[in-house]
Amino acid sequence: MRILVTGGAGFIGSHIVTELTRRGHDPVVLDALLPEAHPQAPPLPDAEWIHASAEDPAAVRQALRGIDAVCHQAAMVGLGTGFSDAPDYVSRNDLGTAVLLAAMAEADVRDLVLAGSMVVYGEGRYDCPRHGRVWPGPRSPADLDAGRFEPTCPDCGADLLPGLVGEDTPPDPRNVYAVTKLTQEHLAAAWTREMGGRAVSLRYHNVYGPGMPRDTPYAGVASLFRSALARGEAPRVFEDGAQRRDFVHVRDVAAANAVALEAIPDRTPGVLTAFNTGSGEPHTIGEMAQALADEHGGPAPKVTGEYRLGDVRHITASSQRLLAELDWRPQVGFADGMAEFARAAQRGAPGPVTSTPSAG
């Protein structure tokens, strides 16, 4: 297939381009090379290249010529520097998606794989011993200031047991980035219904691996810890470090995109299906920081007790739907993945990326 990969020069997008090429597909890259994602100019993917934004209708129409399917990775990610970033998030994520979908409708391109995110859920799954499944609201600044990080039952105040979140969990976005990712899904769902398109949203959990950007607030926690270690500094672990996450390797995410693209022509038109995309192996943020520090050779992480109001306490995935429907299996375990990541160069850092040439 000839596949347009928006954001194809980025961290995840470049690995997808490499995986699609390996499988015999013909990827075309559309990327604006935003400075938030590219502190320095990255190695360009070994594929047809269009230097433009997904917000540019003319460039998108040009990029869609002869395209069979679209893999939409272009987005502004992370929590950023504050609410002042909100216009950029909405423009780049939601306006860009709307422009892309409108151009796909015009070009009669009917197949879309979207980079979704676990952030749409807000907090993960929780069970109360008395009340069963509950949905705790946002944590209060007073509780966080007092070091009370764990959500409690909204009915009785009891301690809760965190579990794996499934795709049918009602969305509850807690920050601007999360709102824009949910909006992308709603736009894509509307497009599928009106145009008879087929769409898959891969709700990524915490993606990490070679080629993550260095020293930027527009990246995940793994990148922040790895950047600190590269500077010879201790990773700063917020709260008490017991926040549960699902860390999934970027090559596994790239494979999930390739599998979804290959399967999408057989999916039902007019429907968007969401798939959690995680490793199925929950770990705490403290464990991740310690594993990186150990493999990198220190310094040891520092647990600070700080917090960010946009963060959630626990969010871990059940990826059973993806395993069952698309026969995808993660291949990189936590220990091996962290050992590789601790030694790999980062985007914007000197030295080669220890991955494929286009995955910088």
Domain ranges of the chain: 2-124+165-343
| pLDDT in the model for residue 288 | 97
| pLDDT in the model for residue 77 | 81
CA angle, 89 then 338 then 226, to 5°: 50
**Catalytically annotated residue among 177, 208, 218, 307:** 177
Contact 322, 275 (CB under 8 A): yes
- Pick from 311, 51, 90, 97: nearest CA to 201: 97
| Distance (Å, whole) CA 85 – CA 89 | 6
| pLDDT in the model for residue 215 | 73
Q: What is the CATH number assigned to the segment(s) 2-124+165-343? A: 3.40.50.720
Assess whether 208 carries a catalytic annotation.
Answer: no
> What does the block give as tokens for 322?
């993806």
Position 250, amino acid: V
Residue whose token pair is 């017991």 = 242
| pLDDT in the model for residue 302 | 97
User: What are the start-end ranges of the H helices in 150-274?
Assistant: 176-195, 221-230, 250-263
| Distance (Å, whole) CA 17 – CA 29 | 8
Listed in sequence order, the residues at least 6 apart from 84 whose beta carbon sits closer than 8 Å to its beta carbon are none
| pLDDT in the model for residue 8 | 94
- Pick from 14, 49, 42, 12: nearest CA to 28: 49
- Where the chain has pLDDT below 70, the residues are 36-37, 39-42, 44, 79-81, 217-218, 348-360
Q: Give the sign of the dihedral formed by CA 148, CA 174, CA 281, CA 234.
A: negative
Q: Give the sign of the dihedral formed by CA 47, CA 196, CA 272, CA 193.
A: positive
| pLDDT in the model for residue 78 | 72
| pLDDT in the model for residue 217 | 66
| pLDDT in the model for residue 360 | 24
| Distance (Å, whole) CA 174 – CA 121 | 8
pLDDT tens for residues 322-358? 999 999 999 999 999 999 999 988 876 443 333 222 2
Question: 3-class SS at 201?
Answer: strand
| pLDDT in the model for residue 212 | 87
pLDDT tens for residues 268-326? 999 999 999 999 999 999 999 999 999 999 899 999 999 988 789 999 989 999 999 99
